[in-house]
Amino acid sequence: MTIIEKIIAAHSNLKSIKPGDIVDVVIDTRAARDFGGANVVKNLLDNGLTIADPKKTIFTFDCNPGGSDQKYAANQHFCRQYARENGIRVYDVDAGIGTHLAIDNGLTWPGSTFVSTDSHANIMGAIAAFGQGMGDQDIAAAWAKGAVWFKVPASVKINLTGNRPANVTAKDIVLNLLSIFGANKLLGFSVEIYGEETEKFTLAERITIASMGTEMGAIIILFPTSPSLLQELKLITGKDYPSITAETDASYEQSFDIDMSKFVTMVAKPGHPHDDTSIETVRNQKIDSGFIGSCTNGRIEDLRAAARVLSGRKIAPGVVLKIVPATDAIWTQAMDEGIIQTFKEAGVMVSNAGCAGCAAGQVGQNGPGEVTISTGNRNFEGKQGKGFVYLASPAVVAASAVAGFITTPDQIPDQPALFHATGSRDTGHVKRDEKKKDPKPTVVEGTVWIIPKDDIDTDMIFHNRYLTITDIKEMGQYTFDNLKGFEDFAKKANPGDIVITQKNFGAGSSRQQAVDCFTSLGISCILAESYGAIYERNAINAAMPILTYKPDVIARAGIQNGDRIRVDFVTGTLTNLRNQEIVQTDKFYDAQMAIYQNGGLL
């Protein structure tokens, strides 16, 4: 049997298996992440299922450690609560990438089985273990039953012959393989890699190559164990592990001999990890940012490689370099070795351990049009943000960040490339309509919304989870959705409606959206006893009509929810159209009226 067949047979209580067999595989470690973990729990609860063995079950919060996104934070807390109730271990936001933690903490070992809600769980092939990324229902089944059904894949053997060139890293090796096999020539196969040079590969190098098996379409890339690997694992975990290799008469669907001596330094072009090219074809491509990390290149060896390049140098002006160690233990080791200090002196932003921008998570995303060079495993459009992502080794990323353009460590210029103004962002010569504006109405009528609360802050008005919205047309739908009792305000409010509230309306932050959301809905004016100081200025400057009134005014006018009222900005008179009661509010002052009639401060 091949390596994968031996492992699956041993975990299926079968003496032998062959490709195409469907078997139930017992899983040694069953993981769920913050990205998908909440759905795993929901599947269990919805189907009345319990945990087969909590000791073999873990959560890993690595996609967005810290919960900087509200939905991630909610999912993480939900999973923590479930873990407390069921005795499940949580590798929380301070720990790092789940697959790396599993290897380093002995949760997976040569010959073992591991599943996770992580498409790169097949990284376990680096240590001759079976690892698979699976969906929420699959993982829920593994948690509840301890096993999952699996179709045994056919195996392919790759023999790497020749000597490895001195400047070719593990990342270059896997990018060279991707350029040969593309994204689908190995689709559905278990791939075993052999060769005299491969036996010298370190754990970190094996991880880099195995982690991109998914990008090659493979079920898994497996390396047989070597004495040096087993010794390295013992140093990390303190445990002795068995040697795992294929049997000498194992049957393979195909076998490929590839001369590694012809491999070159490679870069994957934006859009597809398999769209690979020699670095020479993209050398001098200007970049905006760089990223070093992810499950592919976040080990201590990767950080050391970057530090060797960055030592005594500075990141190019205008370029941002973000580095994220794979685990907290690696972070601590990098600090002890002075690597973090080297990064900081070079101008790097170092984040806590985790997956970083891979799943649009904690850090590492780029903006529209931004050109990034990254050590990640994927550069699909939109995967790491809205920009363009090249994939390369840690040393190339570090060198490029110093140079300001894509290059290699041996060709970093004395002076970095600089950004120059292109004129594409110049709005200083916009022709303005100089026609006289029609005067805006100074008397409005509308249906009243009474919100009898003091100190309504800007998070209640327009929550910070929506602050990335810049189009006023999109803002209205979120108005008051964080104010208890008024969460449906935006759905029920009509253009022309009037909001009446109490003291200190708009307390809190300086966000303009807390004003513009009312403009978006067409609210004709707001009346309050007083306003937060910044909010008052924001409203006036945005030509949003706001007025203040004395505490007894609303009661004297007998105003109730749903009444229609008329408000005169010039005189400050307020008329309740239901009972014709007239009361006095504070009128617009001159500057307020001038800004209002101008359509806003600008």
Q: What is the mean pLDDT of residues 181-187?
A: 89
Confidence band, pLDDT 50/70/90 cuts, at residue 28 = very high
Q: Which residue has the higher pLDDT, 253 or 377?
A: 253
For residues 421-446, give the mean pLDDT: 75
CATH topology of domain 3-262: Aconitase; domain 3 (3.30.499)
Residue 67 pLDDT class (50, 70, 90 cuts): low
- Check residue 515 and give its pLDDT: 96
Q: Give residue 429's pLDDT.
A: 57
- pLDDT tens-place string over residues 238-270: 999 999 999 999 999 999 999 999 999 999 999
* Residue 432 confidence (pLDDT): 61
- The whole-chain average pLDDT of the chain stands at 93
Q: Residue 357: which pLDDT band, with cuts at 50, 70 and 90? A: confident
If one compares 509 and 539, the residue with the highest pLDDT of the two is: 539
Q: Which residues lie below 8 Å from residue 425, measured CB to CB, with a gap of 6+?
A: none
Q: Which CATH class is domain 443-597?
A: alpha beta
Q: Does residue 68 carry a pLDDT above 90?
A: no
Is pLDDT above 80 for 381? no
> Has residue 379 got a pLDDT over 90?
no
* pLDDT confidence of residue 66: 72
* Residue 361 pLDDT level (bands cut at 50, 70, 90): low
Contacting residues for 63 by C-beta, under 8 A, at least 6 apart:
33, 34, 35, 72, 354, 355, 358, 359, 361, 362
Distance CA 457, CA 464 (A): 11
- β-pairing, 289-292 vs 320-323, is parallel
Domain ranges of the chain: 3-262, 266-411, 443-597
φ/ψ of 29, rounded to 5, equals: -135, 130
* Residue 428: pLDDT over 60: no
Mean pLDDT of 306-315: 98
| pLDDT reported for residue 394 | 97
Domains 3-262 and 443-597 in one fold? no
DSSP for 296-338, please give it: TS-SHHHHHHHHHHHTT--PPTT-EEEE--SBHHHHHHHHHTT
Query: 169-173, 253-257, 289-293, 377-381: which has the minimum mean pLDDT?
Result: 377-381
pLDDT tens track for 186-195: 989 999 999 9
Poorest-pLDDT segment among 25-34, 306-315, 463-472: 463-472
Tens digits of residue pLDDT in 83-122: 999 999 999 999 999 999 999 999 999 999 999 998 899 9
pLDDT in tens, 262-301: 999 999 999 888 888 999 999 999 999 999 999 899 999 9
Under the banding of pLDDT at 50, 70 and 90, the label for residue 399 is: very high
Architecture in CATH for domain 266-411 = 2-Layer Sandwich (3.30)
| pLDDT at res. 163 | 94
pLDDT at 324 (0 to 100): 94
Is residue 424 scored above 90 in pLDDT?
A: no
Q: How confident is the model at residue 489 (pLDDT cuts 50, 70, 90)?
A: very high
Mean pLDDT confidence for 68-92 = 91
Long-range contacts of the stretch 344-350 (C-beta < 8 A, 24+): 346/310, 346/311, 346/313, 346/314, 346/315, 346/321, 346/402, 347/314, 347/315, 347/321, 348/310, 348/315, 348/321, 348/322, 348/323, 349/320, 349/321, 349/322, 349/323, 350/322, 350/323, 350/324, 350/325
